[in-house]
């Protein structure tokens, strides 16, 4: 478990500091820093016991690290079958639960992004070790899933849209995050929003953007929005669909997702232009129609 890894690391660091006669130090990353329950445990542990426990923890850490790497999961094929196109595979948990740029192991690992387009309905799928069903993970404090940041204009330096899962959201500093200023309850209706302001209040700011602070609903989530978990892979998934008619300039699909600590982030890019079956069909019908007309004209001569 990542929890034990972090605890083992804290114990070791504090033991080493004690040996050098240094004062106890607050840990550097949010996962450990904010784990106040663990700090309380630390204060109660006497040092002879601490040393013994640290050694045991190092052994547990080595075993856990191996488990984490082995658990480096596969796509959930029962959900993301052949009709989906994978656009990102980022299923990496490194030593000590490092998921880049932060820590926390599988619970914070953003893993895969998928899309499929049928007519004007765009579907996007996200797989993560982070709980995408409940929308939050508890490790001493609560961490929340962000919105899926989207760009359709081919320039991913700015995300003009967000798909909101309809989940309760707080930023790293505990502020409620939502687009609806008239009802600041940390929740918005699920759907596609044109974003006016992104919340940037996460610990690892390199993982921004996180979630909408302001935006306008432009397309409702259609009926296929769904979420679930695969206990074998220790992964969660979420899929959703919306109509792309309201998006004027659809050059490419760029997607980005993170959580309120920013421990891990995932980015996806589907090369432009995304084939649009409905448009291609119309275009094809038009060509066939013209060819037919030409044949009839020729036969009359």
Which phi and psi angles does 186 have, rounded to 5°?
A: 75, 10
109 near Ca ion, rule: CB under 5 A: yes
148 near Ca ion, rule: CB under 5 A: no
Q: Is 3 exposed, middle or buried (0-12, 13-18, 19+ CB in 10 A)?
A: middle
153 near Ca ion, rule: CB under 5 A: yes
Work out how close the CB of 83 gets to Ca ion at its nearest, in angstroms, rounded to a whole number.
23
Tell me the number of residues near Ca ion by CB under 5 A. 15
35 near Ca ion, rule: CB under 5 A: no
Q: How far, in Å, CA of 89 to CA of 111, rounded?
A: 6
Of the residues 10, 61, 65, 73, which one makes contact with Ca ion according to CB under 5 A: 73
Of the residues 90, 107, 131, 171, which one makes contact with Ca ion according to CB under 5 A: 90
178 near Ca ion, rule: CB under 5 A: yes
171 near Ca ion, rule: CB under 5 A: no
Work out how close the CB of 64 gets to Ca ion at its nearest, in angstroms, rounded to a whole number.
14
Q: Nearer Cβ to Ca ion, position 117 or 195?
A: 195
Q: Which stretch binds Ca ion (CB under 5 A): 9-17, 90-98, 223-231, 289-297?
A: 90-98
155 near Ca ion, rule: CB under 5 A: yes
Q: Nearer Cβ to Ca ion, position 11 or 168?
A: 168
Which phi and psi angles does 68 have, rounded to 5°?
A: -60, -45
Q: Which stretch binds Ca ion (CB under 5 A): 10-18, 127-135, 244-252, 293-301?
A: 127-135
Work out how close the CB of 111 gets to Ca ion at its nearest, in angstroms, rounded to a whole number.
5
Q: Are 75 and 86 in contact (CB under 8 A)?
A: yes
Q: Nearer Cβ to Ca ion, position 153 or 276?
A: 153
Work out how close the CB of 234 gets to Ca ion at its nearest, in angstroms, rounded to a whole number.
7
188 near Ca ion, rule: CB under 5 A: yes
Q: Nearer Cβ to Ca ion, position 158 or 279?
A: 158
Which residue's Cβ lies closest to Ca ion? 151
Contacts with Ca ion by CB under 5 A lie at 73, 90-91, 109-110, 129, 151, 153, 155, 158, 164, 169, 178, 188, 264
């Amino acid at each position: 478990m990542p929890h034990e890894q972090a605890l083992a690391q804290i114990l070791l660091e504090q033991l080493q500091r004690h040996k050098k006669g240094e004062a106890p130090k607050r840990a550097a990353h949010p996962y450990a820093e904010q784990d106040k329950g663990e700090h309380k445990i630390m204060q109660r542990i006497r040092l002879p016991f601490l040393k013994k426990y640290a050694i045991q923890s190092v052994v547990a850490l080595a075993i856990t690290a191996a488990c984490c790497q082995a658990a480096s999961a596969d796509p959930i094929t029962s959900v993301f079958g052949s009709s989906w196109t994978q656009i990102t595979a980022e299923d990496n948990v490194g030593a000590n639960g490092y998921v880049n740029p932060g820590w926390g192991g599988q619970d914070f690992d953003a893993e895969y992004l998928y899309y499929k387009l049928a007519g004007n309905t765009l579907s996007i799928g996200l797989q993560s070790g982070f709980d995408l069903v409940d929308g939050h993970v508890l490790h001493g404090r609560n961490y929340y899933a962000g919105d899926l940041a989207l760009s359709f204009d081919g320039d991913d330096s700015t995300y003009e849209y967000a798909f909101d899962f309809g989940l309760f959201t707080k930023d790293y500093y505990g502020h409620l995050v939502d687009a609806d200023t008239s009802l600041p309850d940390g929740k918005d209706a699920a759907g596609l929003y044109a974003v006016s302001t992104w919340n940037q209040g996460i610990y690892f700011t390199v993982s921004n953007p996180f979630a909408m602070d302001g935006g306008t609903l432009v397309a409702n989530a259609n009926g296929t929005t769904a979420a679930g978990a695969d206990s074998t892979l220790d992964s969660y998934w979420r899929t959703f669909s919306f109509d792309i008619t309201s998006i004027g300039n659809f050059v490419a699909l760029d997607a980005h997702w993170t959580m309120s600590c920013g421990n891990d982030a995932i980015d996806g890019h589907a090369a432009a232009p995304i084939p649009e079956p409905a448009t291609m069909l119309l275009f094809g019908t038009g060509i066939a129609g013209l060819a037919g007309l030409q044949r009839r004209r020729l036969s009359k001569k």
